[in-house]
């Protein structure tokens, strides 16, 4: 139904398809009125006719439109029109000629300083959202765009939650990405900014290691680990400052995490210059006597409750897999002439990336499987590359 040359409301002419999936598609388009390139996110016609999906899509537009921050992708327009007799809802956004952090991490992890700089920028963007009463709820590399100058932009507010609005999510459903879900989302309907702090902690861990902290073959296994398992130890070459930023963000209890996104941003900015020693004492090991005094019945009961919570949350995730965060973007075929994005490097100079990698608006990783274990890239002088207007 949609294709290159399709015009929406006599203004937006679709060009290259940047990505798509079960929920809809994203296209690069030309704005005939203002003469600029834009990204147009189109909801599938069948979902446009679904009141809940259509309302959630409109809420995304409103959530993003209220935010004015360099770390958030701008929204320009929203509307509904007819294409070949079918109603189509669309969202017009800033076109970011970059690539997702997810794609960047496929080439290897980032260094501690680059990771902390990224965390600070994303936390600043989240702080702006939280100040407007908006919780993103789906912070992950696929929803973080790296601009050509190395700055990061937060996008996809498809499952954002307004603390002042009513719940659109049906009873028994949970909208999230299992690899990044905060533990409390398994047992509570309350959505607070702490869930974004936790998810950003997962992103930071992934940047430093190239893998998710909690992995599994099913959502149940992953969620169970979020609820129960200790944080896998970061590599020994991660300094204490960045280590503390990540580990505190990943605390199981919301009150034990960074108290706010601004607090996490400040900690991340201070972390690379942390004067702490590079050696850390391992956590104390409980004595056999202490272990033997734990009431077996209470421990078993706790495990059963945790498993039930994990099963409930995983079932909800599976039930809403089609709508989780409007995570619809699979990479389209590479297009030529696209500027390659460079992520932040330890030296502050963009890291030289593989120029053969195309830029896309965003993509969703197929699974939370272990990423490439390629050693961290070392900073090099940027290569000359053509610029685009």
Residues 227-237 pLDDT 10s: 999 999 999 99
Mean pLDDT of the chain: 75
Task: Let me know: does 96 contact 145? Beta carbons within 8 Å.
Answer: yes
- The span from the CA of 338 to the CA of 97, in Å, is 7
**Is there a catalytic annotation at residue 138?**
yes
Note the pLDDT of residue 335: 37
Q: Which of 67-76, 155-164, 229-238, 273-282 has the lowest mean pLDDT?
A: 273-282
Is 252 annotated as belonging to a binding site? no
Residue 373 included in any domain = no
Residue 290 included in any domain = no
Residues 160 and 231 reside in one and the same domain: yes
Residues 90 and 111 reside in one and the same domain: no
The per-residue pLDDT for range 297-317, each reduced to its tens digit, is 334 444 555 555 555 555 554
Residue 372 included in any domain = no
**Widest Cα–Cα separation across the chain:** 76
Task: Let me know: does 199 contact 139? Beta carbons within 8 Å.
Answer: yes
Residues 131 and 242 reside in one and the same domain: yes
Higher pLDDT, 122 or 339: 122
φ/ψ of 115, rounded to 5, equals -65, -45
Residues 88 and 140 reside in one and the same domain: no
Residue 109 included in any domain = yes
Note the pLDDT of residue 213: 96
**DSSP-derived secondary structure letter, 50:** S
Note the pLDDT of residue 339: 35
Note the pLDDT of residue 25: 85
- pLDDT for 336 beyond 50: no
Q: Within 10 A of 367 (CB to CB), how many other CB atoms are there?
A: 13
Query: What's the half-sphere exposure (Cβ side, CA atoms, 13 Å) at 134?
Result: 25
Note the pLDDT of residue 29: 97
Note the pLDDT of residue 67: 87
- The span from the CA of 310 to the CA of 317, in Å, is 10
- Nearest residue to 120 via CA among 264, 12, 216, 217: 264
Residue 77 included in any domain = yes
Residue 282 included in any domain = no
- The span from the CA of 97 to the CA of 357, in Å, is 13
Residues 81 and 228 reside in one and the same domain: no
Candidate list 138, 149, 299, 352, residue with the active-site label = 138
Q: What's the average model confidence in pLDDT over 6-35?
A: 89
CATH number, domain containing residue 89:
3.30.200.20
Report residue 180's pLDDT band, with 50, 70 and 90 as the boundaries: very high
As for how many domains the chain has, the answer is 2
- The span from the CA of 272 to the CA of 356, in Å, is 32
Beta bridge partners of 153: 145
Q: Cα-atom radius of gyration of the chain, to the nearest Å? A: 21
- pLDDT for 368 beyond 60: no
Residues 243 and 170 reside in one and the same domain: yes
Report residue 326's pLDDT band, with 50, 70 and 90 as the boundaries: very low
Q: What's the average model confidence in pLDDT over 272-278?
A: 56
Report residue 174's pLDDT band, with 50, 70 and 90 as the boundaries: low
Note the pLDDT of residue 140: 93
Residues 169 and 270 reside in one and the same domain: yes
- pLDDT for 388 beyond 80: no
Residues 267 and 134 reside in one and the same domain: yes
Of 29, 63, 94, the residue that ends a domain is 94
Residues 85 and 160 reside in one and the same domain: no
Residue 288 included in any domain = no
Of 94, 123, 150, the residue that ends a domain is 94
The burial of 108, by beta-carbon neighbours within 10 Å (0-12 exposed, 13-18 middle, 19 or more buried), is given as: middle
The burial of 279, by beta-carbon neighbours within 10 Å (0-12 exposed, 13-18 middle, 19 or more buried), is given as: exposed
Helices marked H in the chain: 45-48, 51-65, 101-105, 112-131, 194-209, 219-228, 240-249, 261-270, 288-292, 296-319
- pLDDT for 295 beyond 90: no
Report residue 163's pLDDT band, with 50, 70 and 90 as the boundaries: low
Q: In terms of residue numbers, what domain contains 56?
A: 7-94
Residues 171 and 49 reside in one and the same domain: no
Residues 231 and 194 reside in one and the same domain: yes
Note the pLDDT of residue 194: 97
Task: Let me know: does 214 contact 179? Beta carbons within 8 Å.
Answer: yes
Note the pLDDT of residue 247: 98
- pLDDT for 117 beyond 70: yes
The per-residue pLDDT for range 208-220, each reduced to its tens digit, is 999 999 999 988 8
Note the pLDDT of residue 229: 93
- Nearest residue to 60 via CA among 73, 46, 49: 73
Residues 104 and 158 reside in one and the same domain: yes
Residue 286 included in any domain = no
- pLDDT for 255 beyond 70: yes
Q: Which token pair is 60?
A: 């995304």
The burial of 287, by beta-carbon neighbours within 10 Å (0-12 exposed, 13-18 middle, 19 or more buried), is given as: exposed
Task: Let me know: does 93 contact 73? Beta carbons within 8 Å.
Answer: yes
CATH number, domain containing residue 139:
1.10.510.10
- pLDDT for 277 beyond 90: no
Of 38, 64, 94, the residue that ends a domain is 94
């Amino acid at each position: 139904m949609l294709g290159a040359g399709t015009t929406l409301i006599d203004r937006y002419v679709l060009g290259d398809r940047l990505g798509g999936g079960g929920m809809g598609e994203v296209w690069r388009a030309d704005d005939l009125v203002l003469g600029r390139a834009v990204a147009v996110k189109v909801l599938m016609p069948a979902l446009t006719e679904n009141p809940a999906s259509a309302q959630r899509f409109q809420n995304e537009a409103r959530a993003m439109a209220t935010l004015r921050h360099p770390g958030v992708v701008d929204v320009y327009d929203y509307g509904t029109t007819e294409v070949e007799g079918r109603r189509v809802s669309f969202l017009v956004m800033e076109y970011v000629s970059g690539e997702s952090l997810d794609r960047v991490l496929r080439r290897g992890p980032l260094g501690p300083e680059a990771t902390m700089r990224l965390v600070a920028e994303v936390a600043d963007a989240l702080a702006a959202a939280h100040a407007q009463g908006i919780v993103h709820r789906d912070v992950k590399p696929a929803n973080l765009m790296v601009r050509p100058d190395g700055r990061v932009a937060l996008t996809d507010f498809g499952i954002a939650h307004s603390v002042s609005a009513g719940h659109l999510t049906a009873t028994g459903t949970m909208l999230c990405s299992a690899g990044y879900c905060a533990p409390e989302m398994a047992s509570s309907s309350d959505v607070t900014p702490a869930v974004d702090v936790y998810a950003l902690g997962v992103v930071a861990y992934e940047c430093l290691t190239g893998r998710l902290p909690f992995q599994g073959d099913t959502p149940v296994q992953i969620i169970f680990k979020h609820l129960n398992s200790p944080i896998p130890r970061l590599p020994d070459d991660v300094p204490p400052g960045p280590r503390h930023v990540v580990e505190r963000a990943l605390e199981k209890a919301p009150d034990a995490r960074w108290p706010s996104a601004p607090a996490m941003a400040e900690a991340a900015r201070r972390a690379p210059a942390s004067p702490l020693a590079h050696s850390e004492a391992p956590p104390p090991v409980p004595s056999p006597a202490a272990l033997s005094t734990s009431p077996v019945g209470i421990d078993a009961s706790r495990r059963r409750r945790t498993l039930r919570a994990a099963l409930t949350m995983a079932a909800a995730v599976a039930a809403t897999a089609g709508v989780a965060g409007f995570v619809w973007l699979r990479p389209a075929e590479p297009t030529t002439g696209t500027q390659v994005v460079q992520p932040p490097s330890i030296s502050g100079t963009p890291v030289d990336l593989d120029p053969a990698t195309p830029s896309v608006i965003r993509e969703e990783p197929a699974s939370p499987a272990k990423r490439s274990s390629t050693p961290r890239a070392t900073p090099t002088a940027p290569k000359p590359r053509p610029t685009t207007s």
